[in-house]
Chains A and B, each alone.
Chain A
């Protein structure tokens, strides 16, 4: 019963590098999203998707890209990492009643 799986769990990047945070769900939920959480702050929505082929911006989309080619996968791409993107990232798959969060990816940009 995997639920939402995020990889990697930890990552250190240098400023200007690019990378992709992977997210996969096995619950067949149409709605998926990415959040970032910074120390002492709540969760902020980066991008979301209501189904394969459909994505939209959340509250803080700048510097991030997403795509949704399948129901299962929703990767988040950092195009050119900046120190301001140091954060914990959560991937979410939502059903009608509840949302299921991944374990998070702790990203540090130096």
Chain B
């Protein structure tokens, strides 16, 4: 399983765009990149998943460069409710061997 490295914490203000970068230098050919969000006292929930280039949904965008050794989760115009821990995971999602190993995540604090 590819190891991921994320910043421990980030601060932002309401209305700003937040970009959280994840490094995964040992990503394998069949690995996907998936981001989860966790609020206090809740289980993580899926945000977005991608393989290469750019993926966008109603919540976020995921940018993946050509070498796939890193990825950036972009949250447009954050609000106070986006304060949470964000986890980056890498693995072959369709494989039974993909065990969803979570790192420490990035604690995002959005200030008024």
Contacts and interface: CB of A to CB of B under 8 A. Distances in A.
Contacts, number: 51
B94 interface: yes
A75 interface: no
A43 B94 contact: no
B45 interface: yes
B42 A59 contact: no
Contacts of A35: 102
Interface residues of A, number: 26
A42 B105 contact: yes
A48 interface: yes
A41 B107 CA distance: 11
A85 B87 CA distance: 24
A100 B100 CA distance: 12
Q: How large is the interface on B (under 10, 10 to 19, 20 to 34, 35 or more residues)?
A: 20 to 34
A61 interface: no
A51 to B, nearest CB: 8
B103 interface: yes
Given A90-B43, A103-B43, A98 B99 contact: no
Interface string A18-55: 00000000000011010100000111110010110000
A1 interface: no
Interface of A: 30-31, 33, 35, 41-45, 48, 50-51, 58-59, 90, 92, 94, 96-104
For the complex of A and B, list the 10 residue pairs with the smallest distance between their C-beta atoms, beginning with the closest: A101-B43, A98-B46, A50-B96, A43-B102, A42-B102, A90-B43, A96-B94, A42-B104, A101-B44, A104-B43
Interface of B: 34, 36, 41-46, 49, 87, 93-94, 96, 98-105
Given A92-B43, A101-B45, A103-B43, 17 more contacts: A42-B103, A44-B102, A45-B99, A58-B99, A59-B101, A92-B100, A94-B100, A96-B93, A97-B93, A98-B49, A99-B44, A99-B46, A100-B46, A101-B42, A101-B44, A103-B42, A104-B41
